[in-house]
Amino acid sequence: MSRHHEFLQGARDMLPMLLGAMPFGIIFGSLAGAAGLTPWQTIGMSVLVFAGSAQFIALSLLGGGATLAVLLLTTLVVNLRHALYSASLQPFVRHLPKRWRMPLAFWLTDEAFAVVQHRYAETDSSPHKHWYFLGAALAMYLNWQLCTLIGLVFGQSVPNIAAWGLDFAMLATFIGIVVPVLRNRPQVAAAVVAGAVALVGHGLPYKLGLMAAAGAGIVVGVVLERRYRLLQDEVF
Amino acid sequence: MENWLLIFGMLAITFTTRYSLFAFPDLRFPELVRQGLHYVPTAVLTAIVVPGMLLPDGQHLALSLDNAYLLAGLVTIGIAALTRNLLATIAGGLLVFFLLRWLFGQLPL
């Protein structure tokens, strides 16, 4: 595929994710004012930070009067998963110059990761897969800015927008990403363990329960995968 | 002013985590790490979804039948397993969720 086609295909494959992110972005724009952000700061946060879950947690902590240090530490813990995504995609972008790697990293969200990882897993040897990455990432970015604006401008006119439960859109999106991956026992076990640890650890400060759950799920997945491999080796 | 400091701090932290490994193109991962990376999306996203369904307010376990997050979440998982189609999963899940919230009288209408 040509660069142009890769770019458009990336943007197109991102469309379902945009639907899932839309309510989330609109709510962010609507609630930021109540948490103490000016309209320019609201836009600034979406444009510069571009991390939905971290932005939401910042709002809730800001509203609760947390200190800057606590806010930033929490951002770090919540965003550590992006380091894992970065590690996961690194083998595919390592050949690119810095002027590609830096913007692609800036736009590396959960949703972009899920879609782009699929493209890289396909076996065709297109030399332009980074254009696909760019198209997917830019679609997500523009959608997020647009939804922040919509929330900012129209959010006040919808009574009780926070009580609608639009955050379910994020859960639906993540379910749509994870469930098709659960094709073997190590993956299922990783999900079960991560979910259980997250439940038990949800009360831990700085979202540390999330990191503990991610770590536990990954370890269980790897251990089981190795055990299955050993069993297979014994059979043959 | 303090808020801008926060925004630029969040920018620095978020970009650093996302760029962390892209910044070192010569780094090669050992087999163990590469295996572990296969489980990253499953583990991380499940760790966000499960509490989201069972503790919708972030604090209290809600196992009751009027918890739309839990019921619609289960239906969404079903749709995802059957169709393996992202758009169907997200659109169907949202539809069921709002239908349930409407039926339960949980929408601020």
Enter the tokens of residue A53.
């879950």
Mean of pLDDT values over A212-229? 93
A95 and A212 assigned to the same domain: no
- Residue by residue, pLDDT tens for chain B (109 residues) are 689 999 999 999 999 999 999 999 998 888 898 899 889 889 989 999 999 999 988 888 999 889 999 999 999 999 999 999 999 999 999 999 999 999 999 888 7
What's the pLDDT tens digit per position in A19-60?
A: 999 998 999 999 899 889 999 999 999 999 999 989 988 988
> Is residue A176 situated within a structural domain?
no
Separation of alpha carbons A117 and A224, rounded Å:
23
Q: What is the pLDDT of residue A234?
A: 62
Of A51, A75, A159, the CB nearest to B108: A159
Is residue A153 one of the residues assigned to a domain?
A: yes
Give A-chain residues touching B87 at CB under 8 angstroms: 15-16, 19
Residue A228, pLDDT above cutoff 90: no
- Residues A19, A62, single domain; the answer is yes
Three-state SS annotation for chain A = CCHHHHHHHHHHHCHHHHHHHHHHHHHHHHHHHHHCCCHHHHHHHHHHCCCHHHHHHHHHHHHCCCCHHHHHHHHHHHHHHHHHHHHHHHHHHCCCCHHHHHHHHHCCCHHHHHHHHHHHHCCCCCCCHHHHHHHHHHHHHHHHHHHHHHHHHHHHHCCCHHHHCCCHHHHHHHHHHHHHHCCCHHHHHHHHHHHHHHHHCCCCHHHHHHHHHHHHHHHHHHHHHHHHHHHHHHHC
**Is residue A175 a part of any domain in this protein?**
no
How far is the alpha carbon of A1 from chain B, nearest alpha carbon, in Å? 23
Give dist(CA B99, CA B53) in Å, integer.
Answer: 16
Which residue from A82, A112, A152 is spatially nearest to B15, judged by alpha carbons? A82
Is the residue at A171 inside a domain?
A: no
Q: Do B18 and A167 touch (CB under 8 A)?
A: no
Shortest distance between the Cα of B81 and any Cα of chain A, in A, equals 6
Average pLDDT score, chain A: 92
The per-residue pLDDT for range A103-139, each reduced to its tens digit, is 999 999 999 999 999 999 998 989 999 999 999 999 9
In a domain, A141, yes or no: yes
- Per-residue model confidence as pLDDT tens digits over A148-190: 999 999 988 887 887 888 889 989 999 999 999 999 999 999 9
For residues A30 and A103, membership in a common domain is answered with yes
Tell me if B7 and A113 make a contact (CB, 8 A cut-off): no
B43 closest CB neighbour out of A87, A169, A218: A218
Same domain, A151 and A195: no
Q: Return the residue in A40, A168, A192, A226 with the most chain B beta carbons within 10 A, the one to mutate for interface testing.
A: A168
A85 and A15 co-located in one domain: yes
Q: Chain A closest CA to B65's CA: distance in Å? A: 17
| pLDDT score at A192 | 98
Give the per-residue pLDDT at A168.
Answer: 92
Q: Does residue A43 contact residue A149 with C-beta atoms inside 8 Å? A: yes
Please answer yes or no on whether B47 and A105 come within 8 Å at the CB atom.
no
Residue A236 has pLDDT above 60, yes or no: no
ipTM for this prediction:
0.93
Question: Is the pLDDT assigned to residue A214 strictly greater than 60?
Answer: yes
> Which residue range forms the structural domain that includes residue A85?
3-165
Testing the interface with A: which of B14, B63, B96 to mutate, by most A Cβ within 10 A? Answer: B14
**Which residue's entry shows tokens 């491999």?**
A229
- Centre a 10 Å sphere on the Cβ of residue A121 and count the other Cβ atoms it contains: 8
Number of domains within chain A: 2
Minimal-distance CA residue of chain B relative to A200: B51
